[in-house]
Structure 1
Amino acid sequence: MLDKSPYEPLNAATLTRRLGGMPELTRRLGPAAHWQVREVGDGNLNLVFIVESPKGAAVAKQALPYARCVGESWPMSLERAFFEYHALVRLGARDPGRLPEVYAFDQSQALIVMEYLAPHVILRKSLVEGVVLPELGGHLGRYLARSLFRGSDFAMDTAHRKADLALFAGNGELCGISEDLIFTDPFRASPRNRVTAGLEGDAAAARADRDLKVAAAALKRRFATSAETLLHGDFHTGSVMVTDRDSRVIDPEFAFYGPMGFDIGSLLGNLMMAFFAQSGYRADHAACIAYQDWILDVAETVWWVFAAEFARLWKSGRNGILGLRELFEDVGHEIGARSVLTDLMEEVWRDTLGFAGIEMHRRILGLAHILEFEAIANEGLRAECERRALAMGRVLMLRARTLRGPREVSALARTMAERPL
């Protein structure tokens, strides 16, 4: 039984005392006297510890009552750990083996203990180092299809769907952060924004760009009002850990019910930024182009695998509120069901492009920047890479209805990477 003592931020010593009496952990790790604990968190919000022993290892993640990247001046609720725990359980069941296994949850300490992923590394670091991961696109495309389909009205009955929707509606604080940091701050003068030296004019141009702000407003409305499925909510290249044969999804604390294209777009926007960043640290032009081509191939594969797996699930697992088999397959109207799927996928594709474009803006003009750009030592070169990415992001936001597929997007990215600034 968990200790119900008041919340306190833990450290290596107090974490051992906190967890050492939990049978579910001592069975896995052995007696606490043999544990070694180190704090490794480098994210924006939480404390993260690795607990190791001769018998095994685990990760312990504790929410802080403020945003770690800013400090105590930005207070935050500890309840985000509750939502992350429930998201880990649900998303993990929808694509078994793709998320870390949860070992324990201590709600009073906002603490989740889960599987230690080794020898996995954060995908962002692999993209900076130029590592080729042959199965990445397939893994992430299938994860997106399975999690988005199985968390939607197409697969869930009314009782479970409404209860789940009500539960995750409580994650309003983190949704509010996304609504501000993603959809609003990059397009206004906000004290939270950070801009690379040399991009001040580009930031001012975005703030003055009426068409861009109209597109951002439409995307924000879609994000806030379209509760299509349970989303990871912050699905980017820092939320994936990889080896050359495995890919795992982590950190779903921003989980909420929203539009399917948001998770896909967030990932593809980050892959696009990694594409534009390559010229900032690859002096060998041929090697740079080859790795950029691989990144674009991953992005294309994510979409095509997602679409194929979603269609398979649509055919075999459409038993929820919006199954509609009684209107179509049960009366011999299979073509009608395929038309519904076609319309849905076209809508998801448009959303994906728009959300990808806005993700590129918020990571360059907003608060939370990315390693792929920050690894570029030359600030002038970094600004040039970011400027090209902003141009790409703007096109994705404004032409989401006319770009017809991933290959067209890849061709556009290559053009943007080569054109004079």
Structure 2
Amino acid sequence: MTKSTVYRPLCIEDAVQLARNIEGVFSPTASLRCEEIGDGNLNLVFRVYEISKDTTDSALSPRRIIIKQALPYAKVVGESWPLTLDRARIESQALIAQGQLVPHLVPKVYLYNPDLALTVMEDLSDYTIMRAGLMQRNLYPLFAEHIAEFLAKTLFFSSDLGLNQQDKKRNVERFINPELCKITEDLIFDDPYTASPNNNCDAAIEDELKKLSQDCGLQFEVMLLREKFLTQAQALLHGDLHTGSIFITPESTKVIDPEFAYYGPMGFDIGAIIANLILNTISQEHWSADEETRRQYRAYLLQMVRDIWNQFESRFRSLWDNHVVDRMAQTDGYQDTYLTRVLQDSVGYAGCKMIRRIVGLAHVADIDSISDLHVRERAQRTALFIGKSLVNMNRRIQSIDEVITACEHGIAGVQA
């Protein structure tokens, strides 16, 4: 598979041959096995690992890699939804850029092949997908610290605060990502508020979808957030930072899948992770076995939301104080105003994310996997209530504590 290779979707045999040709990963005589493991919406994903008489499966093998190949269409829909293969380049370059800043928080990249639109990277089989871990009520004591560091460093050092402005503009050009941004623009900021064929709304809450299409005040706030997403090239975003894009253990965190990366408003990434934690908080009516367990785990998750923002803000201020490159950014009061706006954006985008995950095309397993239809409906209505509240209040927010209070009141009110 040379540079002149013509694109084609890989099969298992192709993946094994590709793995053999990567220098420094497997020995030339290694016996390799491959399995397709992708269950996402857009890509093919293979795991290739070395086997011996002592290690016959991937969990035991000391040498494992992941091969992720972009398809020229959305896997979740089919060939009727074409997509650019350039997203593989964007993902690879974003992972490499993140790895230069926070190497311990992202998988190592071994290879990017532009002709086959694939990235070869470190395998994280020893980790748990965070969404699944939260549904099992696992505890991750270092996560808030880890994700706050990831957000602070990747956002600060890709912005005009931490990067020469001309270099930053060249980066904006390099990470133009119109096709995947179009998905976000439609699925998050348009479809939930109209009669879109992309929407996926349970019959039990169709009344909520109708209300969304009639709520002019809410749509006004969504449009302001959409405008920023369309026009504000503030920092290089991950672009899809949810709990399904995070591999985790109690001691370690790895952020994956930045194929939606582009230059946009910082709050979009922060809001995405906050939204997913709140959605899991709501879903604990099902995942927690009893009221006391539920109360404790919900308190734990909401404290995690609080800690993420507070630790992000502290780290971001420290980076600003010590590494800012723009002299004018040291103007008295500007740092405080800047971070207040980032918080407000984060809250607004969190609300938008919550709404789309209930009535839009792609839901979350936290809520969709609830087997009791009445419990699921309450969770959906609670998520929509809180999501709308966060959108409507975003421009007035001054503290993360207001977000926690809104969540607590929303859960207590709808799920009482």
> Which range, TM-score by smaller chain?
over 0.9
Q: Distance in 2 between matches of 1:159 and 1:218?
A: 27
Q: Distance in 1 between matches of 2:4 and 2:309?
A: 45
Residues 389 and 406, structure 2, Cα contact 8 Å, conserved in 1: no
Kindly indicate whether residue 308 of structure 2 is the aligned counterpart of residue 340 of structure 1.
no
Q: Alpha-carbon deviation of 1:324? A: 2.7
Kindly indicate whether residue 42 of structure 2 is the aligned counterpart of residue 45 of structure 1.
yes
Q: Distance in 2 between matches of 1:2 and 1:149?
A: 38
Q: Alpha-carbon deviation of 1:239? A: 1.0
Q: Alpha-carbon deviation of 1:63? A: 0.4
- Structure 1 SS opposite 2:10: coil
Q: Alpha-carbon deviation of 1:32? A: 6.8
1:2-401 equivalent positions in 2, closer than 5 A: 2-22=2-22, 24=23, 27-31=24-28, 34-54=31-51, 56-169=63-176, 171-319=177-325, 322-324=326-328, 328=330, 336-337=331-332, 339-401=333-395
Q: Distance in 2 between matches of 1:214 and 1:158?
A: 32
Deviations 1:342-361 (A, max 9, x none): 01011101101100000001
- Structure 2 SS opposite 1:61: strand
Q: Distance in 2 between matches of 1:343 and 1:130?
A: 37
Q: Alpha-carbon deviation of 1:195? A: 1.0
Residues 188 and 352, structure 2, Cα contact 8 Å, conserved in 1: yes
Q: Distance in 2 between matches of 1:105 and 1:3?
A: 11
Q: Distance in 2 between matches of 1:51 and 1:32?
A: 15
Return the letter of the residue paired with 1:217.
M
Return the letter of the residue paired with 1:269.
A
Q: Distance in 2 between matches of 1:420 and 1:191?
A: 28
- Structure 2 SS opposite 1:238: helix
Task: Give unmatched runs, 5+ long, in structure 1.
Answer: 329-335
Return the letter of the residue paired with 1:181.
L
Residues 16 and 32, structure 1, Cα contact 8 Å, conserved in 2: no
Q: Distance in 1 between matches of 2:362 and 2:121?
A: 26
Q: Distance in 1 between matches of 2:203 and 2:217?
A: 25
- Structure 1 SS opposite 2:47: strand
- TM-score, length of structure 1 as denominator length: 0.93
Return the letter of the residue paired with 2:47.
I
RMSD of Structure 2 on Structure 1 (CA) = 1.5
Structure 1 window deviating more from structure 2 (372-381 vs 350-359): it is: 372-381
Residues 303 and 406, structure 1, Cα contact 8 Å, conserved in 2: yes
Q: Alpha-carbon deviation of 1:20? A: 2.2
Residues 100 and 114, structure 1, Cα contact 8 Å, conserved in 2: yes
Deviations 1:103-154 (A, max 9, x none): 0011100110001113111110011110011111111111111110011011
Deviations 1:348-388 (A, max 9, x none): 01101100000001111110111111221122211110110
The count of residues paired between Structure 1 and Structure 2 equals: 405
Q: Alpha-carbon deviation of 1:3? A: 4.2
Q: Alpha-carbon deviation of 1:420? A: 4.3
Task: Give unmatched runs, 5+ long, in structure 2.
Answer: 52-61
Q: Alpha-carbon deviation of 1:5? A: 1.7
- TM-score, length of structure 2 as denominator length: 0.94
- Structure 2 SS opposite 1:113: strand
Q: Distance in 2 between matches of 1:205 and 1:296?
A: 28
Structure 1 window deviating more from structure 2 (2-11 vs 287-296): it is: 2-11
Return the letter of the residue paired with 2:293.
A
Q: Distance in 2 between matches of 1:35 and 1:102?
A: 20
Q: Distance in 1 between matches of 2:166 and 2:380?
A: 46
**CA distance change for structure 1 residues 4 and 32 in 2, over 3 Å: closer, same or farther?**
farther
- Structure 1 SS opposite 2:46: strand
Q: Distance in 1 between matches of 2:225 and 2:169?
A: 24
Q: Alpha-carbon deviation of 1:242? A: 0.2
Return the letter of the residue paired with 2:151.
L
Residues 2 and 106, structure 1, Cα contact 8 Å, conserved in 2: no
Q: Distance in 2 between matches of 1:301 and 1:346?
A: 16
